[in-house]
Amino acid sequence: MRKVISSSWFSKLAWMPVFLLSACAGMKPEFAAQDLDRWAQEVLKSSFRDEKAVKVSILQQDRSNAECSSARSSGLELSDQARQEIEAENLKTVRPPEDGQYFGDFKQGEALAQDGRGMTWSDAPGQANGGQCYNCHQLSAQELSYGTLGPSLYHYGVNRGVTDLQSAVSKPVVEYTWAKLWNAKSFNACSAMPRYGHHGILSQAQIKHLMALLLDPQSPVNR
Ligand code: HEC
């Protein structure tokens, strides 16, 4: 037989948010801000466990995460000094390609940009992740579905004057783009973009495919 929620029980439950809200409204603000933050972190930590590709260690914030989150939640800007220090710390993590080759295959780059798989508790550890670039960026003109959290990357290479991947003129753009994909906070302390190389989300080979997608004059991003 189907169980039906008794109306008296249900009506009590419906009042719960009102009681909770009025309890929060009664707190002194200093008490609420500090302690709610600490409690929230404790609840998160105690209710998480390692599960396949997701590790509890992901809750450890580095300086960039901690200072950017607290600046955002308090409505304050980071100081110029903190911003510069955080960017310098992140830039130090960038590792250039081991074989000196920055470019792979733009077709594989496009597939990676489309692919949002990976890094969830149902993914086996060691399985290759996607880049999910389209979640935040426009890239090729053919793909109509994309997010707008990040700027459009359509014509990324053309707009920066890249006509030949190997030319000396392209070098600064190539090195900047590699570093941006490796660790986006190197140039923007509180960037919302995932730190693909630094956090081992993508391999060097995968980042090379994305480099080709962004900079090769023949790729759908630049045509
Ligand atoms: C969660 C959103 C998000 C995802 C996913 C994301 N980005 Fe970004 N990206 C941003 C934001 C926001 C910016 C602009 C702010 C900044 O510079 O960090 C940006 C900036 C960039 C820039 C620098 C643009 C310039 O003009 O200097 C490049 C290049 C870039 N993203 C490439 C990529 C690629 C390639 C991927 C996929 C591997 C990707 N992004 C995934 C949010 C994202």
Q: Quick one: average pLDDT of 161-189?
A: 96
Residue 29 has pLDDT above 80, yes or no: no
Residue type (1 letter), 101 = Q
d(CA 41, CA 158): 45
Mean pLDDT of 181-192: 98
pLDDT of residue 30: 60
Q: Is 135 exposed, middle or buried (0-12, 13-18, 19+ CB in 10 A)?
A: middle
Q: What is the DSSP string of the chain?
A: ------HHHHHHHHHHHHHHHHHHHTS-HHHHHHHHHHHHHHHHHHH---BTTB-GGGG---HHHHHHHHHHHHT-PPPHHHHHHHHHHHHTT----TTS-----HHHHHHHHH----SSTTSPTTPPP---GGGT---STT------SS---TTHHHHTT-S-TTSGGGHHHHHHHHHHHH-GGGT-TT--S--TTTTTSS-HHHHHHHHHHHH-TTSTTT-
pLDDT at 189 over 50: yes
Q: What is the pLDDT of residue 17?
A: 45
Q: Which of 190, 204, 171 is nearest to 90 (CA)?
A: 190
Instruction: Provide the β-strand partners of residue 54.
Output: 51
pLDDT class of 177 with cuts at 50, 70, 90: very high
The CATH H-level superfamily of 49-223 is Cytochrome c-like domain (1.10.760.10)
- Pocket test of ligand 1: the residue of 86, 137, 210 to mutate, having most ligand atoms within 8 Å of its CB, is 137
Whole-model pTM: value is: 0.85
Query: What is the predicted pLDDT for the residue at 175?
Result: 97
Q: Residue 26: what pLDDT?
A: 52
CATH 1.10.760.10: which residues of the chain? 49-223
Highest mean pLDDT among 45-54, 66-75, 138-147: 138-147
What are the pLDDT digits (tens) for 58-82?
888 899 999 998 898 889 889 999 9
In this structure, the residues whose C-beta lies within 6 A of any atom of ligand 1 are: 113, 131-133, 135-137, 149-151, 153, 177, 180-181, 184, 188, 191-194, 196, 210, 214
